[in-house]
């Protein structure tokens, strides 16, 4: 793989859409693996109690006593202590999620600076120590306090949208939440990127949805479209992303194209 430009500053992207099953986790881990393959340092923060991103990166998030994003949010461990290397790539790091995180949304409510816990953990010093160019935060399928923490910690929001019926359903609510966070907690936050996922070229519907999303979001939508492919969904079962599982597949190539666009846009910013 050729090199991609390093961004001048660590780019922090929140992968958000409160709808479940639209490809948030798949997009987070595959973009991360693709960027790391090009020699960039990438940290995935798994903010979903299911821990699917951790699994796909080959990290055993059910191991007893591992430090996870839960302890990080509570301030019990440092970023470096909560971070593990993916066995698939030295430049690919992950703060895993454990099932403890399921209770965190409620526990966080009573903490000081409850919306800023993740931002405080991901500060300039701790990120410099990890030497990462990108942080990708994989959000749970809700707009609760975990997702708010992700939006406060990031500058960019990346929205995956599934090429299916009701694709834009709920996106209005998501955008209003982003505006609220921007107004009250994080003025720099903006939607920088939209990724179309699970595209099935055999259906007319998929093209209609893609057109509709492009009309709505304009050039925020990446040209690369992620096809629906069984292999993409199989890869996590092997503790891999599609980029390691089947590098030459359409799914892998489309995520690599998406990485290139993302990185080149960042360089121009
Ligand atoms: P979310 O994180 O938004 O809930 P996931 O990334 O977990 O969504 O994807 C939901 C399901 O769809 C998972 O089983 C995943 O493996 C599958 N999936 C995601 N992207 C694709 C794709 N391009 N082709 C086929 N299956 C996919
Ligand atoms: Mg997910």
What is the mean pLDDT of the segment spanning 17-42?
97
How, if at all, do strands 42-46 and 134-138 pair?
A: parallel
Cα 16 to averaged position of ligand 1 atoms, centre (Å): 14
Q: Is 140 in the pocket of ligand 1 (CB under 6 A)?
A: no
CA 267 to ligand 1 center in whole angstroms: 29
Q: Which residue lies with its CA nearest to atom 22 of ligand 1?
A: 228
Please check whether residue 124 is in contact with residue 117, taking contact to mean a CB–CB distance below 8 angstroms: no
Nearest to 179 by CA among 191, 168, 169: 191
- Coil/strand/helix, residue 137: strand
What's the confidence (pLDDT) of residue 211?
Answer: 94
CA distance 38 to 170: 34
- Residue nearest to ligand 1 atom 15, measured at CA: 233
Residue 226 CB–ligand 1 contact under 6 Å: yes
Q: Which atom, in ligand 1's list, is nearest to the CA of 28?
A: 6
State the ipTM, two decimals.
0.99
Q: What is the pTM of this model?
A: 0.97
Say yes or no: CB of residue 20 within 6 Å of ligand 1: yes
Q: Which residue has its alpha carbon closest to ligand 1 atom 17? A: 233
What is the Cα–Cα distance from 216 to 169, expressed in whole angstroms?
A: 13
48 CA → ligand 2 middle, Å: 6
Residue-wise pLDDT for 137-173, tens only, equals 999 999 999 999 999 999 999 999 999 988 888 899 9
Domains of the chain: 11-268 (3.40.50.300)
Q: Give residue-wise pLDDT tens across range 75-125.
A: 999 999 999 999 999 999 999 999 999 998 889 888 888 999 999 999 999
Query: To test ligand 1's pocket by mutation, which of 22, 26, 164, 231 has the most ligand atoms within 8 angstroms of CB?
Result: 26
Distance 15 CA to ligand 2 centre (A): 9
């Amino acid at each position: 793989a050729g090199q991609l430009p390093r961004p001048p500053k660590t780019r922090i992207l929140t992968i958000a859409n409160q709808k479940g099953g639209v490809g948030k986790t798949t997009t987070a881990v595959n973009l991360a693996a693709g960027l790391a393959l090009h020699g960039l340092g990438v940290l995935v923060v798994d903010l979903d109690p299911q821990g699917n991103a951790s699994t796909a990166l080959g990290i055993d998030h059910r191991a007893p006593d591992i430090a996870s994003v839960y302890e990080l949010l509570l301030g019990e461990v440092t970023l470096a202590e909560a971070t593990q290397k993916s066995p698939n790539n030295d430049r690919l790091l992950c703060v895993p999620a454990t099932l403890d995180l399921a209770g965190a949304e409620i526990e966080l409510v009573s903490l000081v600076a409850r919306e800023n816990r993740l931002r405080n953990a991901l500060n300039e010093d701790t990120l410099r120590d990890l030497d990462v160019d990108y942080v990708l935060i994989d959000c749970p399928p809700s707009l609760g306090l975990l997702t708010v923490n992700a939006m406060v910690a990031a500058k960019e929001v990346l929205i995956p949208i599934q090429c299916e019926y009701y694709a834009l359903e709920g996106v209005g609510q998501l955008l209003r939440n982003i505006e609220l966070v921007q107004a009250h907690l994080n003025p720099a936050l903006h939607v920088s990127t939209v990724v179309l996922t699970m595209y099935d070229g055999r259906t007319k519907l998929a093209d209609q949805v893609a057109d509709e999303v492009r009309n709505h979001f304009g050039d925020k939508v990446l040209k690369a479209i992620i096809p629906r492919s069984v292999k993409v969904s199989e890869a996590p079962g092997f503790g891999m992303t599609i980029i390691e599982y089947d590098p030459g597949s359409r799914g892998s190539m489309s995520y690599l194209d998406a990485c290139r666009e993302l990185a080149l846009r960042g360089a121009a910013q």
